[in-house]
């Protein structure tokens, strides 16, 4: 399966020597991820079957275990939202299946180190769903909206290095930087950099309930907590794509209901598969497994602003009380342990000796040393729509009980988890998987905010890594960051695991976007069952 038609795939992109080195590093990233994850990927014979010629038409129903908090790409940090709205939007550049940054709405780009200017040369003939032609003015309007003084976008800090955005002509736009910022290209390839139409922005279009972009599918309706539906965009810039006429993303929280719907044909695909149900899917001639390497970093996050989690000894005790491999093997069906806040296949990930190996007796000693010989009581908040996290939570509850800590489980829906835990920072401990990022900066610089952990030395190292030219120099800074995270037991870093989707046997061309965990239906089609 290829993302681009051959003509588009051969589009030449122009880089400065420094930016070229950064992109080359991403090629090594793809190889590293493939090598690491191949050790525990599940063999899926159905997926290796020869793909038939694409078939046009039909409706595809795909079950996702949650509903978006908003449909505005600039106003959410929720993976669920990006999983729902990717089909409506495009970005200037995007990752291919190997993680390399390739053309999308921009056919090519140049970077000038002397003037700190990143110039994009835009694709011609692209139109928005409202019929407006896509031009450089739309690019400028999109990012001006995000960077406006009154903007509440959580991604505003990711563009702090951008001094201004200039429209050179209809098909050329420049990003002028205040300083060298290597992560920018990865940021522009991520879902929150989706391009919006200038006229709709000026007219006050409500993107929170009505996505409007240049993507392969046009928004039809959103019934909260039930479904989000699209129709095929007949003027999509990728000739002949997409193949299906209708796409419905169905909210189905219960895994049993998802599996039943897949087996009966009510759903053509389901986003998550519980490991113990894999034999049922693989033994059914009408269904098949789809496995993919994730960029997830699974963690047990602790709120450093709430005692006793502000105590290093307590955090070390909790880390020592957790059998991380057991969590991976049982709750997440295998994976590789991590020692810091980067996924195991990331080229910048630092291999460290296990800082806090599973040792309950040592954990009890640390608790007593911290002043809690009899343990304490806390709340473990879990997103109920993610069964693996709930299963892991039950295991963690028992592991903490063994050292005297009573963790009362609180199940909340995804919207509540985002508002209460991630944005509100109102929690004790939680378990979550942080979606992969195309550049380490996007995770390390912003995604730990909800833990209330503060370390000026680490913050400075992250800034230096972002400003570094050479991948080797960046890695040296990130190595130091990861040592700090491990030493301070900032979180219990669990590991990285595989993604498991279930599909009907007549569904082909489906893929998950590299590192970002968003389903891509541009090449998807169905044959007759």
Range of the domain at 353: 297-498
**pLDDT for res 3:** 24
Residue 419 lies in a domain: yes
**What span, in angstroms and rounded, lies between the C-alpha atoms of 393 and 492?**
13
Contact 183, 466 (CB under 8 A): yes
Residue 312 tokens read as 């290093």
Q: Is residue 410 part of a domain?
A: yes
In a domain, 463, yes or no: yes
Q: Cβ contacts of residue 182 below 8 Å, gap of 6+?
A: 22, 439, 441, 465, 466, 467, 468, 469, 474
Cis check: omega of the bond before 284, within 30 degrees of 0: no
- 162, part of any domain: no
Q: So what's the pLDDT on residue 99?
A: 76
Q: Reduce the DSSP state of residue 514 to 3 states and report it.
A: coil
What is the C-alpha to C-alpha distance for residues 302 and 309, in angstroms, rounded to an integer? 6
> What secondary structure letter does DSSP report for 129?
T
pLDDT at 49: 53
pLDDT tens profile 366-402: 999 999 999 999 999 999 988 899 999 999 999 999 9
Query: What CATH number is associated with residue 450?
Result: 3.10.105.10
CB 418 within 8 Å of CB 383: no
- The ranges of the chain with pLDDT < 70 are 1-49
Number of domains in the chain: 1
Give domain status of residue 25, yes or no: no
Whether 202 and 148 have beta carbons less than 8 Å apart is answered as no
* Residue pair 130/116 in contact by the 8 Å Cβ criterion: no
Comparing CA positions, the residue from 271, 298, 292 lying closest to residue 443 is: 298
Q: Is residue 69 part of a domain?
A: no
From CA 143, how far away is CA 478, in angstroms rounded?
A: 28
For position 32, what pLDDT does the model report? 34
Q: Are 196 and 210 in contact (CB under 8 A)?
A: no
Residue 105 lies inside a defined structural domain of this protein:
no
SS3 label, residue 31: helix
Instruction: Report if residue 156 sits inside a domain.
Output: no
| 466 φ, ψ (degrees, to nearest 5) | -65, -30
**Do 320 and 476 form a contact (C-beta atoms < 8 A)?**
no
CA-based diameter of the chain, in Å? 69
What is the distance between the alpha carbons of residues 205 and 179, in angstroms, rounded to a whole number?
Answer: 33
The region that residue 60 occupies, defined by phi over 0 for left and psi between -120 and 50 for alpha, beta otherwise, is beta
């Amino acid at each position: 399966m290829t993302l681009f038609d051959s003509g588009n795939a051969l589009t030449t992109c122009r880089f400065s020597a420094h930016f070229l080195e950064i992109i080359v590093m991403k090629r090594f990233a793809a190889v590293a991820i493939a090598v690491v994850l191949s050790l525990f990927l599940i063999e899926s014979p159905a997926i290796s079957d020869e793909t038939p010629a694409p078939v046009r038409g039909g409706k595809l129903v795909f079950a996702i275990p949650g509903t978006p908090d908003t449909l505005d790409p600039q106003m959410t940090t929720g993976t669920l939202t990006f999983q729902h709205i990717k089909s409506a939007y495009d970005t200037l550049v995007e990752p291919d299946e190997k993680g390399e940054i390739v053309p999308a709405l921009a056919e090519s780009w140049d970077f000038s180190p002397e003037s700190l200017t990143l110039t994009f040369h835009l694709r011609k003939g692209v139109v928005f769903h409202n019929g407006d032609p896509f031009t450089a003015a739309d690019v400028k309007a999109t990012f001006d909206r995000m960077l406006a003084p009154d903007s509440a976008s959580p991604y505003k800090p990711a563009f702090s290095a951008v001094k201004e955005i200039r429209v050179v002509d209809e098909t050329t736009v420049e990003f002028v930087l205040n300083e060298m910022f290597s992560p920018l290209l990865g940021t522009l390839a991520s879902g929150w950099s989706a391009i919006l139409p200038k006229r709709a922005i000026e007219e006050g279009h409500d993107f929170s309930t009505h996505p409007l972009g240049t993507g392969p599918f046009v928004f039809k309706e959103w019934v909260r907590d039930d479904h989000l539906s699209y129709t095929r965009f007949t003027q999509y810039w990728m000739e002949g794509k997409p193949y299906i006429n209708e796409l419905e993303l169905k909210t189905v929280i219960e895994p049993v209901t998802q599996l039943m719907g897949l087996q009966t044909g009510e759903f053509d695909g389901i986003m998550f598969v519980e490991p113990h149900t894999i034999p049922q899917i693989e033994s059914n001639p009408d269904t098949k497994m789809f496995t993919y390497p994730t960029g997830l970093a699974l963690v047990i996050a602790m709120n450093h602003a709430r005692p006793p989690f502000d105590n290093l000894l307590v955090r070390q005790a909790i880390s020592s009380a957790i059998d991380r491999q057991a969590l991976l093997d049982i709750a997440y069906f295998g994976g590789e342990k991590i020692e810091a806040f980067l996924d195991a296949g990331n080229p910048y990930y630092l291999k460290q000796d296990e800082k806090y190996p599973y040792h309950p007796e040592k954990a009890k000693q640390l608790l007593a040393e911290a002043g809690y010989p009899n343990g304490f009581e806390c709340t473990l908040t879990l997103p109920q729509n993610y069964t693996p996290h709930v299963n892991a939570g039950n295991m963690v509850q028992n592991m903490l009980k063994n050292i005297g800590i009573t963790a009362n489980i609180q199940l909340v829906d995804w919207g509540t988890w985002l508002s209460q835990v991630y944005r509100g920072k109102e929690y004790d401990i939680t378990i979550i998987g942080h979606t992969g990022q195309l550049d380490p900066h996007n995770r390390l610089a912003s995604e730990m905010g909800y833990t209330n952990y503060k370390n000026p030395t680490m913050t400075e190292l992250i800034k230096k890594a972002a400003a570094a030219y050479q991948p080797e120099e960046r890695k040296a800074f990130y190595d130091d960051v990861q040592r700090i995270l491990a030493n301070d037991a900032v979180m219990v870093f669990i590991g990285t695991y595989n993604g498991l989707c279930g599909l009907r046997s007549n569904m082909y061309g489906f893929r998950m976007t590299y590192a970002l965990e968003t389903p891509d239906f541009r090449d998807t089609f169905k044959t007759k069952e």
